[in-house]
Amino acid sequence: MPIANPLIQTGPLGSVELSPRVVSALAARVSAECYGVAGMAARGLRDGIAELLNRENVERGIELRIEEQGIGVDLFIVVEHGVRILEVAHNLMSAVGYSLHHNLGVRVLDVNVNVQGIRAPQSTAGMA
């Protein structure tokens, strides 16, 4: 018997299959809109430095775990300097979990936030 896939929803008229890319894209969009998040980061640190991903490859900063009971999401982010990191992480967890459940109808098992770095403030020297 095949394992149930939470990204395939079957009804009386047929079925709908959600691509994992759709889930990742929605999670990335919600993350970008969350206060204090500077951007998505690559999963691994290179030489101890977080790589801030550009708009075309933000999905590299998201890892999905598809299980029979639902999906799990791991987010790899860079936060803005001066924010309360735990508050940003908790807000992001709530926002992503709510958005995935509300918009896609999938059961979200967990949302894990991995802070890979802090973006330094922009220098204001020379600006008058």
Strand-strand pairing, 70-80 and 37-40: antiparallel
Digit-coded pLDDT (tens) for 61-83: 999 999 989 999 999 999 999 99
Q: How far apart are CA 118 and CA 13, in angstroms?
A: 48
Q: How many domains does the chain have?
A: 1
pLDDT category of residue 4 using cuts at 50, 70 and 90: low
Whether 63 is in a domain gets the answer yes
Whether 128 is in a domain gets the answer no
Residue 1 has pLDDT above 50, yes or no: no
Whether 1 is in a domain gets the answer no
Whether 113 is in a domain gets the answer yes
Whether 34 is in a domain gets the answer yes
Question: Domain range spanning residue 46?
Answer: 8-119
Q: Report the mean per-residue pLDDT for the chain.
A: 88
In CATH, what number is assigned to the domain containing residue 92? 3.30.70.1350
